[in-house]
Structure 1
Amino acid sequence: MKLKTILFGNDWITPFLKKYRKGFVLAIFLGTITMAMAGLLMFSSGYVISKSATKPENILMIYVPVLFVRIFGIGRPVMRYVERLTSHNWILRITSLLRKKLYLRLEKSAVNLSERYKLGELLGVLNEDIGNLQDLFLRTLFPVLIAGTLAIALVIASGFFSLWLALGVALFLGFLIVVLPLISLKFTMKLDEELKAYRNDLFSHLTDDILGLQDWVLSGRKEDFLTAYRGAEVSARKRQAKLLSFGRKRNLFLQVVYTLLVIYLMAWSSGALNTGDAPNYIAAVSLMAFPLFDAFSPLSDAVVETNRYGDSVRRLNDLPDPNETLRDQVITDVDLRIEHLDFAFEEEKKLFHDFSLQVKRGEHLAILGRSGVGKSTLAGLIRGDLIPHKGNISFGGIAPSKAKNVEDKIGVINQSPYLFAASLRSNLTLANLHATDEEIWEALELVGLREMVEKLPKGLSEEVDEAGERFSGGERQRLALARILLSDVEVVILDEPTVSLDPITENQLLRLFFERLRHKTIIFITHHLLGVHQMDRVLFLEEGKIKFDGSPANLMASNATFQQLYKLDLGEEKTD
């Protein structure tokens, strides 16, 4: 990916540079002042040394230069601190916005992304790419722009003394800032791409081979495996060695060029400054160039690294781009209306076509259907996690995908509620951070877990293992219900919450769910009929449409399909 495209051909860098340009410009200005102070510190120090060597008649003759040494000596670290504080505050704020932007893009398209990207690529997006953009700002844009600003200032300042001095300084700095970095980029680009490709192949092959290592050993081909791996590793190391070798040679050449610059400044100053007090400035001018090396030497590495961020920019640009400002409305009415819905993960295979449904506040609806018919997908659409291709889904006229308070209105209990490696209290208050211990104990009482939690050594402060493995499936479901009760949502989606439990526990939990949530809207997604007699309505999905919809009593009396399903379900339960 070209350097211009990486920096400006995307919507992950340029928009933030424009929107927050004041902080960016301030950081560049402070960085330039910091480097200028470093040069002035050496300039004043060189003058003091030179003036002192001439044995001044009075100490006051060097008092002012010594004062400047102190000013610049103190000012440089202070300005460096302020510059770092400003630039890092700016970049951390930008990084926070970038992560929010990434989340909003991924949140809307999580299911589609799982189809389009490998797991490793998604992890790369989440774990590395935003960090790479942060490094792009800190390690490339800031150093390049600070060096460029400083170079312009030096050339202009040199022009006040001599046109030849300004021309010479411009030639040297132009080579250091433009020519050498572009040569480095051109030379390393191909090697870098090859090395990256080798590493990716090496990792992929090694992963596959390690997973099948037993087969390699059993077939007696362990040495073949090691030989192939070592050969690929050697090829990757050769390219890495070439890159390192070029880096060392470039740095040596850079030091030679910088030495020539210092010699040029000494030659100019010795010729131009040779009368009166002027010779004392020869050492000052020469020494002033040394700290500036810190500003210009990292530029080649900075430009080369920019090319390495190309993959991150490409992956981020390739993400679907839903409008990140959509969630700006508020749901106040939880009457659900679905009108003429069309949705599909694949164009040729629609899950829903011209689908319509209404669910009133406080209504209890069971949704039945075969596996793969789209029951869980419908739940995602209702939550706003998925966006319909056609038609409308709304709560009181507000689309859930556009509502910023959808989590406050709609809760979900699915097959495997997740518990994090944190305290039990933290796990229960995820949806209501302000819940008191009294409210937590009340919720635990309602779900039948208070006695169990009281027996834990640390009670609510007890640490939960990752994924909550210390709790049974039924206990995890009860904890999920306690979360819902604490959040006080008005619509609860039960997405086959008891599918992996034994029949006795399943019966107990369903009775508990329906009892504790009786005043809320319930959308109960299930594959069989256990508990549906407690629903107000039962809906059966087939081929993206509603096959039948009615109260359990009416369906049991008049619908042959429902009667057959009920008999089959009873048979399955007896078998259990």
Structure 2
Amino acid sequence: MNEPEIPDEVPRGKTFQITARMVRRCMPGEVRGLVLGLLLLLVASGATLLQPWPVKIVIDSVIGKITPPALVQWFTALFQNSDSAGHSGIALLTLLCVGLLLIELIMGACHVFSSYVLNSVALRMVFKLRCALFDHVQRQSLAFHDAKAVGDSLYRITWDSYCIQAIFSEGLMPALTSGLTLLGIAVVMLKLDWHVTAAALAVAVPLIILVRRFDRPMTEQSLRVHEYESDVSTRVQETLVGIRAVQAFGREQFESDRFRSQASASLLASLRLTVLQTASQAIVGLVLAAGTAAVIWFSARGVLLGRLTAGDLVLLVAYVAMIFKPLETLAYTAAAVQNAAAGAHRVLTVLDSQPDVTDAPNAKNLSGRARGEIIFDSVSFGYQANQPVLRELSLTIAPGSTIALVGTSGAGKTTLASLIPRFYDPLKGGIKFDGCDLRDLTLKSLREQIALVTQDPILFCASIRENIAYGRPGATQEEIEAAARAAGAHEFIERLPEKYDARVAERGLTLSSGQRQRLAIARAFLKDAPVLILDEPTSALDAETEERLVQTLEKLMKGRTTIIIAHRLSTVRCADRIVVLQNGRIAESGPHAELLARDGLYARLHQLQFGEPPTATAEAAL
């Protein structure tokens, strides 16, 4: 079957739509924090507008002879006593300096608190987005994970999820603050002199053109950086997971060279992005410098013509510095949003992908303990189009019976077993479980009836107790120990310093193969499911350990519908029926002795492994 390819290219002109979708997705529950942060930013913007006014009044009314504004006169009179009546200039100067400090204090406090509030909101959004990504990825069908590298999914969850923080902290919030400041300054400047205001705002036109010119290249390059970083993450993950093979074959230098190659590609992509960003910033700086020169020229001309005061000149120049800062911020914000949109697109493509295997709208729960009857009816399946693995296969597995699946590599043994818990759905035909089509049952209730023991036991970085109870978290200590005893694991666990509280290293590497397998079998014992799938559970073990584990597995299989997948035919002799697969079809089936007597494919496989003539072996079996 084919998992739909997830496109990682940001659609042309879709930066705004992608950003808006991400914001809408993360917004619920954060409105109050955003409103509080915006109110604080609004106060800070207002204080910013007042910042240059004390200096203007000092120049015009303390040094010069222009009457100060009425409000300033009232405050001056309020704090001036009769003894200082002759020193009104000093009182006014003192008041203006105190006012300047208060304005800075208000600005600073509002910026600190708004930064805390808005960053808290952004980080909570990152948390929610990460959780949503993790939940969505682990619920994807195995076809999704077959097609995607683990490192790529890891990078999207751990790093691309920060796109929402970048959108708010480096995009929307600075843009909103700059927009409010820009609007306020433009209104005040228009009242002072429209010529100067027009010269200042004229800069916005080339800035917009520049932003649009650099939009697409920076978005595309940013996406390349994300992809290369994902490749680097995948390379590190694969190398560390396979570190034993790397060291055993002396391939450290080879892996280092491969890592350097991918890391250098990421470095070059990042450098190209940096060149684009710095080039856009340099051009923006040049445009702003031209705007500043024009404003100074018009302002000074206004003073020479008597249209403006010296204080107005200082105020306008200060506002020009302020108005160009928001314009510059808006230009840089566009680059930040484009970069974040690349990560947001990678996140949304995962969240938009739907699993192949889902519950039907009217799916029902299996009630009670299943009998364990499984019927394959003309089942066909393939991982890739036009490459079938199973072909029109029909098979009935009776409740409580043991079926062994054997055959050469690629015959379809593991694939057949993987269809039972609905890791995949057949392309044709159907599978019934206790008379119900698998697709009519909920995945949760179906999988609760199945225990799985694989060739490479999956253990987690947790205590031995937690690993055994993974399929039944509410189990008591007595039940866990009973399962461990049944699996022959209790003795080695008791020899550990921390016993059942001992931590299992990643992938259980501090335990032997036999110990890991016994923990997996103990997990199956504890789950006590009516259906048991054993996928080559002893293939990685030595003969002595295998013999002991086979005895343990026979206890586990008793009273359960069991499907054994095996290359080692010594482990399938106890099966009620052996099903031999060849090219996705059943070549033959029957008990061990009967198949040997037929002198067919099973007999040939048996002879290849044991070197005994089929006839002699069949007579010995009988």
Q: CA deviation at 1:493?
A: 0.6
Alpha-carbon distance, 1:374 to partner: 0.5
2:401 is the counterpart of 1:363: yes
Distance (Å, rounded) in 2 between the aligned partners of 1:573 and 1:14? 70
Task: Work out the CA distance in 1 between the residues paired with 2:267 and 2:138.
Answer: 39
Q: What TM-score comes out, normalization by structure 1 length? A: 0.73
**Alpha-carbon distance change, 156 to 289 in structure 1, aligned in 2, over 3 angstroms:** closer
1:431 aligns with 2:471: yes
Counterparts in 2 of 1:557 and 1:417: CA distance versus 1, 3 Å: closer
Shift of 1:490: 3.0
2: distance between equivalents of 1:239 and 1:86? 32
Matches of 2:128 and 2:286, distance apart in 1: 38
Which deviates further from its counterpart, 54-63 or 388-397?
A: 54-63
Structure 1 match to 2:417: 379
Aligned length: 542
State the match for 1:221 in structure 2. Answer: none
What is the one-letter code of the residue matched to 2:154? Answer: N
3-state SS, counterpart of residue 184 of structure 1: helix
Whole-Å separation in 1 of the counterparts to 2:107 and 2:233:
51
Give 1:535 deviation, angstroms.
Answer: 3.0
Paired amino acid for 2:522? A
The secondary structure found in structure 2 opposite 1:546 is strand
Q: SS at 2:579's partner residue?
A: strand
CA contact (8 A) 1:342 1:389 kept: yes
1:74 aligns with 2:104: no
CA distance in 1, matches of 2:158, 2:312: 51
For residues 253 and 410 of structure 1, do their structure 2 counterparts lie closer, same or farther at Cα, with a shift above 3 Å needed?
farther
Q: Does 1:37 align with 2:71?
A: no
Q: Which residue of 2 aligns with 1:217?
A: none
> How far off is 1:512 after superposition?
0.8
1:322 maps to 2:321: no
Deviation of residue 359 (structure 1)? Answer: 2.9
Separation of aligned partners in 2, 1:193 and 1:478:
46
Residue 519 of structure 2, aligned match among 459, 479, 492: 479
Most deviating of 284-293 and 343-352: 284-293
Root-mean-square deviation (CA), in Å? 5.2
Q: Distance in 1 between matches of 2:511 and 2:612?
A: 25
Q: Which amino acid aligns with 2:125?
A: W
Counterpart in 2 of 1:453? 493
The Cα shift of 1:309 comes to 5.0
Please name the residue that 2:77 is paired with: 57
- Asked if the contact 2:161/2:344 (under 8 Å) is kept, the reply is no
Structure 1 residue 556: deviation in Å? 6.2
Q: Tell me, which stretches of 5 or more residues in structure 2 are unaligned? A: 1-8, 63-75, 81-91, 240-249, 255-260, 614-622
Contact conserved, 1:498 with 1:509, CA < 8 A, in 2?
yes
> What's the offset of the Cα at 1:455?
1.5
TM-score, with structure 2 as normaliser: 0.69
- Per-residue CA distance 1:459-495 (angstroms, 9 max, x = gap): 2233334433443322221111012223333322101
2:379 to 333, 341, 364: 341
For the residue of structure 2 that corresponds to 1:109, the secondary structure is helix
2: CA distance, partners of 1:500 / 1:299: 56
Larger mean CA deviation between 62-71 and 498-507 belongs to: 62-71
2:34/2:121 contact within 8 Å kept: no
Distance in 1 (CA, whole Å) between partners of 2:160 and 2:266 is 29
Q: Which consecutive unaligned segments of at least 5 residues does structure 1 have?
A: 215-227
Give the aligned partner of residue 219 of structure 1.
Answer: none
- What secondary structure sits across from 1:530 in the alignment? helix
**Residue equivalent to 1:109:** 144
Change (3 A) 1:169 1:484: farther
Tell me the CA shift for residue 76 of structure 1. 3.0
5 and 189 in structure 1: CA distance in 2 versus 1, 3 angstrom threshold: closer
Higher mean alpha-carbon deviation, 332-341 vs 392-401, is at: 392-401
Alignment match, 2:528: 488
Counterparts of 1:266 and 1:326 in 2: how far apart (Å)?
A: 71
Mapped pair 1:96 → 2:102: no
**Match status 1:128 vs 2:189:** no
Indicate how the Cα distance of structure 1 residues 199 and 506 shifts in structure 2: closer, same or farther if over 3 A, else same. closer
Displacement after TM superposition at 1:4 (Å): 3.8
Distance in 2, matches of 1:301 and 1:335, equals: 60
- Structure 1: distance between partners of 2:228 and 2:102: 58
Which has the larger Rg?
A: 2
What aligned pairs does 1:457-536 form with structure 2 within 5 A after superposition? 457-536=497-576
Q: Distance in 2 between matches of 1:410 and 1:488?
A: 9
Question: How far apart are the structure 1 equivalents of 2:450 and 2:306?
Answer: 79
Letter in 1 for 2:152: V
TM-fit CA distance, 1:537: 3.1
Q: Secondary structure at the match of 1:492?
A: strand
Partner residue of 1:184 out of 206, 214, 233: 214
Question: 155, 162, 166: which one pairs with 1:139?
Answer: 166
1:181 alignment partner AA? V
Q: CA deviation at 1:568?
A: 3.2
- Whether 1:568 and 2:607 are equivalent positions in the alignment is yes
Whether 2:303 is the aligned partner of 1:256: answer: no
